[in-house]
Amino acid sequence: MRFVGNIIWFVFGGAVLSLMWLLGAVLFALTIVGLPLSRGAIEMAKLSAFPFGKEVVHVRELDGKGVTAVTALTGTIGFVVNVIWACTFGIGLFVGHLVAGVINCIFIITIPFGLQSFKLAGLSFWPVGRRVVSVEMARIAREHNAQEKFNKIRAKSGGTSVMAAK
């Protein structure tokens, strides 16, 4: 079903939306300063082309790094670059995805396409620091992070960790 949904999506608008993301990536890459934004835009172009079976996760969910001086600095730079993106290409892509979502939600059979459009609309403003992964990979990363947080809470309360008990 994912394959069929992705093909239909790509033919009926996904290719155009993906090209809009790639255009933004190329223009920001030319400025050198916008290279972090180019990476985020390319990730979103992949998702815009074939959204079914994919999710977007924050890079910290994948690498498991907590807040350090380096991650705080890159997060601050990412914030500034995301604001620049939102004021330029973000608004146009947001409106494009929003309109596509509303149109797709008119008919019951196209509601899944509308939901994908709304997901992409929300991501149009903040692409830096996000990675496109499969739904399964996103679930595993989130479960792993939740397990680590749970183990830290248990360790603070004097209990044994779930992983240590196994």
- 97 in any annotated domain: yes
* Entry pTM: 0.72
- Summarised one tens digit per residue, pLDDT across range 38-91 is 877 888 888 888 989 888 888 877 876 766 776 677 778 778 888 888 888 788
Are residues 37 and 127 in contact, defined by beta-carbon separation less than 8 angstroms? yes
Are residues 81 and 36 in contact, defined by beta-carbon separation less than 8 angstroms? yes
Are residues 133 and 57 in contact, defined by beta-carbon separation less than 8 angstroms? yes
- 87 in any annotated domain: yes
- 144 in any annotated domain: no
- Given a cut of 60, whether residue 166 has pLDDT beyond it is no
d(CA 79, CA 36): 11
- 98 in any annotated domain: yes
Range of the structural domain that residue 87 is part of: 2-137
- 31 in any annotated domain: yes
- Given a cut of 60, whether residue 164 has pLDDT beyond it is no
**Count of structural domains, the chain:** 1
Q: How confident is the model at residue 156 (pLDDT cuts 50, 70, 90)?
A: confident
- Summarised one tens digit per residue, pLDDT across range 86-121 is 888 788 888 888 988 899 899 898 899 899 889 888
d(CA 17, CA 47): 10
